[in-house]
Amino acid sequence: MVAASATATRAAEDSVSAEYVVSFSGSPEAAAAAIQAAGGSVVDVTEQVGLALVVSADGAFLDSVRAQDEISGAARNHSVGIARPGMPHRFAEERLFRTETDGAARTAQGNGSSGATIAAEPLADLQWDMEMIGATADGAHQEATGEGVDVGIIDSGIDAEHPDLAPNFDAERSRNFTTDIPAIDGPCEVESCVDPADVDDNGHGTHVAGTVAAASNDFGIAGVAPEATLVNVRAGQDSGYFFLYETVRALVYAGDLRLDVVNMSFFTDPWRFNCTSRDEYVDGTVTDEELTQQRLVHDLVLGAVSYAHDRGVTLVGAAGNEHQDLAAATRVDGTSPNYPVGIARPRTVQNTCLNLPSEAPEVISVSAVGPSGTKADYSNYGLGDVEVSAPGGWARDFVGTPEFQTPANLVLSSYPVQAAIDAGLADPNGDPVDARSVKFCDGDVCGFYTYLQGTSMASPHAAGVAALIVEADGEESDGGRALAPEDVAGVLLGSAVDHACPAGGVEVYTDEGRTPDFDAPCEGTTDVNGLYGEGIVSASAAVGD
Radius of gyration over every alpha carbon of the chain, rounded to an integer in angstroms: 22
Domain of 232?
121-396+454-495+514-542
What is the secondary structure of 349-361 as a DSSP string? EETTSBPTTTTST
What is the secondary structure of 195-264 as a DSSP string? --TT--SSSHHHHHHHHHH---SSSS---SSTTSEEEEEE---TTS---HHHHHHHHHHHHHHT-SEEEE
As a whole number of angstroms, the distance between CA 536 and CA 526 comes to 12
**The last residue of a domain, from among 26, 57, 78:** 78
Cis before residue 337, ω within 30 degrees of 0? yes
Please indicate, yes or no, if residue 474 is contained in any of the structural domains.
yes
| Mean pLDDT in consecutive groups of 10 residues from the start of the chain, 545 residues | 30 60 96 98 97 96 96 86 50 68 64 57 98 98 98 98 98 98 92 97 98 98 98 97 98 98 97 98 96 97 98 98 98 94 93 98 98 98 98 98 97 98 96 97 98 98 99 93 97 98 97 97 98 98 89
**The last residue of a domain, from among 46, 63, 78:** 78
pLDDT of residue 119: 76
The single-letter DSSP state of residue 432 is B
Please indicate, yes or no, if residue 426 is contained in any of the structural domains.
no
CA dihedral angle for residue 251, residue 256, residue 258, residue 260, rounded to 10 degrees: -20
The residues facing 83 across adjacent strands are none
Residues sharing a CB contact under 8 Å with residue 116, sequence separation 6 or more, in sequence order? 167, 215, 216, 217
pLDDT of residue 14: 36
128 and 71 fall within a common domain: no
174 and 318 fall within a common domain: yes
**The last residue of a domain, from among 78, 97, 129:** 78
pLDDT of residue 243: 97
Please count the structural domains in the chain: 2
**Cβ distance 314 to 296 under 8 Å?**
no
C-beta neighbour count of 205 within 10 angstroms: 31
Three-state SS for 171? coil
Cis before residue 428, ω within 30 degrees of 0? no
Please indicate, yes or no, if residue 321 is contained in any of the structural domains.
yes
206 and 314 fall within a common domain: yes
169 and 243 fall within a common domain: yes
Cis before residue 357, ω within 30 degrees of 0? yes
**Cβ distance 541 to 493 under 8 Å?**
no
As a whole number of angstroms, the distance between CA 81 and CA 78 comes to 8
Please indicate, yes or no, if residue 409 is contained in any of the structural domains.
no
Nearest to 411 by CA among 107, 126, 135: 126
The residues facing 369 across adjacent strands are 375, 391
Please indicate, yes or no, if residue 44 is contained in any of the structural domains.
yes
Three-state SS for 500? coil
Amino acid at 10: R
pLDDT of residue 127: 98
CATH number at residue 28: 3.30.70.80
**Cβ distance 539 to 135 under 8 Å?**
yes
377 and 526 fall within a common domain: yes
172 and 42 fall within a common domain: no
Please indicate, yes or no, if residue 106 is contained in any of the structural domains.
no
Q: What is Dmax (Cα atoms) for the chain?
A: 68
178 and 313 fall within a common domain: yes
C-beta neighbour count of 303 within 10 angstroms: 18
CATH number at residue 281: 3.40.50.200
**Cβ distance 237 to 186 under 8 Å?**
no
Please indicate, yes or no, if residue 355 is contained in any of the structural domains.
yes
The single-letter DSSP state of residue 501 is P
Please indicate, yes or no, if residue 92 is contained in any of the structural domains.
no
367 and 254 fall within a common domain: yes
pLDDT of residue 96: 72
The residues facing 154 across adjacent strands are 264
The gap between the terminal CA atoms of the chain, to the nearest Å, is 56
153 and 250 fall within a common domain: yes
381 and 528 fall within a common domain: yes
191 and 242 fall within a common domain: yes
pLDDT of residue 79: 63
152 and 62 fall within a common domain: no
